[in-house]
Amino acid sequence: MKILHFALAGALALASFTGGALAQSNDDYLTIELKDGPVVIELRPDIAPKHVQRIKELAAAGEYDNVAFHRVIQGFMAQTGDVQYGDMQEGFRPELAGTGGSSKPDLPAEFSDVPFERGTVGMARSQDPNSANSQFFIMFAPGDFLNGQYTVVGKVVEGMENVDKIKRGDEANNGAVSDPDRMINVKVGK
């Protein structure tokens, strides 16, 4: 009984020290520096562990730095993350941005019942549900038609006003952006 008492006391002490038993790890956040300021995304490894791990790996390796927001549609979303063709400092191919991925294999879908609301971050993919790789998008507004069709990886918790200032694309050209804004720097943590 004493061992159980000490174990319980230790768990309570640890919980109070870390801010609560369910405190979010700093590693479960992604910070994107934009021209107008930072954007903090709370990642959701509980619903999309493989996709969140991929985003964290690419961010930690600097792969997302200087990557363009190649497709931005007013009232819908801003898409980025094409590390193959979207790096605006190394090998930028605007005509191909949005068609590439990373050197890693595509991921199997991790669909959930988390809805696409303003600030939701989802993984971009082709028509194949199991084709997400490195690209993701941030919702400007709710998109119920995406629910259960795309993998949700997180939600913007700080800096949505900076997302709102991302340069919009040509609606007649599916949101393609000429001279696009970019993710200046992306890091794991806040």
The structural domains of the chain, with segments of one domain joined by +, span 36-188
For 36-188, CATH gives: 2.40.100.10
Over residues 92-126, the pLDDT tens digits come to 999 999 999 999 999 999 999 999 999 999 999 99
Assigned token pair, 88: 């605006």
Q: What 3 state SS string does 27-56 have?
A: HHEEEEEECCEEEEEEECCCCCHHHHHHHH
Assigned token pair, 183: 């993710």
**Mean pLDDT, rounded, of the chain:** 90
Q: Average pLDDT in the 143-168 region? A: 98
Residue 102 contacts residue 82 (beta carbons within 8 Å): no
Q: Average pLDDT in the 134-162 region? A: 98
Over residues 5-29, the pLDDT tens digits come to 434 344 434 443 444 334 567 899 9
Question: Which of 159, 127, 132 is closest to 48 using CA atoms?
Answer: 132
- The dihedral region occupied by 181, where left means phi > 0, alpha psi between -120 and 50, and beta the remainder, is beta
Find the length of the chain. Answer: 190
